[in-house]
Structure 1
């Protein structure tokens, strides 16, 4: 029986693969305490004020990927990864020691975006529904200039509550937010309410009759 060849990756899939590679690179950098501390200085700041990040990130960003929003997204996500709480760093180290996960770039649309992460936080009672939904609706009306400064405290709260953040998906969304905000914001909102609903249904199914 002949096997059917997998379809060639789309442009979006290729971008996600590059985002995955960048996230893996930053995780590797963070094994060095000096590099981690340097990257953490960029939390919530525009690229122009991230003086200690250039030596690590410029070599990973070829000129064609240096559009302002794309570059800022890479710097922001690198700083967010470096700023993870210790519990999240330990969990990531344990996962890395267990072996690399299977590639998921071919199904990027199934990976958790920020809406999914916020929904999980609500389901864990780490966030109140009104707070999570308020954050989501506020961000859908804002440009990345307003979103970036909010992300350090938001993602840290998620990680402290043992809620995972898919950094590669967040990187891709931030990079294209100002160009395609309505579509990305709709995906975040739909994912949030879908996750909240399905998790509620799962809880009901587990309850004894």
Structure 2
């Protein structure tokens, strides 16, 4: 019995940094649309979570035609399969693009560009979803991995990020996974630096708020 093709996604209008990440944006937008419109396709994508491409038999009918032609090969396809499975496994508010009602963390309020994985973990610390020591340990573990190890260890880390990931965050992660094989040290450095910079920014924000509150409560000089 043949399986129906997923419905094509609507034309995207506001692509984050689309000139640089055009292929990644197109793929993520298509996967999110498919997850929203087809529960069966979403279940098929979830079945490949953390698995190498050769063990993702149920995913092929959804993903194979979405991978850009220039990236069709085992190693180059693997990031696309990984991202598709993680989007499908994420809570509905992350995978289908619906707006979150959670107020943004202090460090997120002025965010205009896609976050790195390090920034996503730092924001999860801000929200209290994970302790800072735990987030740091997870990130340190990921940055030491080979390509195979990264794909094995990444899905459990992504499940910790209950703060909503928007389309730009998924796009940035896909771009980083594509670059891991040839530029692992550079990607790892960006993840670590962005984590510590975001944590420092939050600590500074918290200190400034405390100083302002203390100043407001201080009695006026006679």
Shorter-chain TM-score bucket reads: 0.7 to 0.9
Instruction: Report what 2:158 is aligned to.
Output: 155
Conserved in 1, the CA contact under 8 Å of 2:27 and 2:67?
no
Question: 1:33 aligned to 2:36?
Answer: no
Instruction: Report what 1:204 is aligned to.
Output: 207
**Counterpart-to-counterpart distance in 2, 1:147 and 1:37:** 23
Distance verdict in 2 for CA 1:194–1:163, change over 3 Å = farther
CA-CA distance at 1:147 after TM superposition: 1.3
**Counterpart-to-counterpart distance in 1, 2:158 and 2:44:** 19
Aligned positions of 1:109-188 closer than 5 A? 110-159=113-162, 162-164=163-165, 166-188=169-191
**Offset from partner CA, 1:19-77 (integer Å, 9 cap, x none):** 01110000111021111111110100000011111111111224321243320000000
Instruction: Report what 1:64 is aligned to.
Output: 70
SS in 1 for 2:161: helix
SS in 1 for 2:130: coil
**Counterpart-to-counterpart distance in 1, 2:114 and 2:93:** 22
Conserved in 2, the CA contact under 8 Å of 1:118 and 1:192?
yes
Question: 1:24 aligned to 2:29?
Answer: yes
Greater relative CO (CA pairs within 8 A, separation 6+): 1
SS in 1 for 2:98: helix
Conserved in 2, the CA contact under 8 Å of 1:122 and 1:132?
yes
Give the structure with higher Rg (CA): 2
Instruction: Report what 1:104 is aligned to.
Output: none
CA-CA distance at 1:110 after TM superposition: 4.1
Distance verdict in 2 for CA 1:204–1:163, change over 3 Å = farther
CA-atom RMSD in angstroms:
2.1
Instruction: Report what 1:189 is aligned to.
Output: 192
**Counterpart-to-counterpart distance in 2, 1:13 and 1:144:** 26
Contiguous gaps of at least 5 residues in structure 1: 1-11, 96-108
More helix by share: 1
**Counterpart-to-counterpart distance in 1, 2:159 and 2:69:** 31
Aligned residue pairs total 182
CA-CA distance at 1:140 after TM superposition: 1.6
**Offset from partner CA, 1:143-179 (integer Å, 9 cap, x none):** 12111122222112202xx253611111111111021
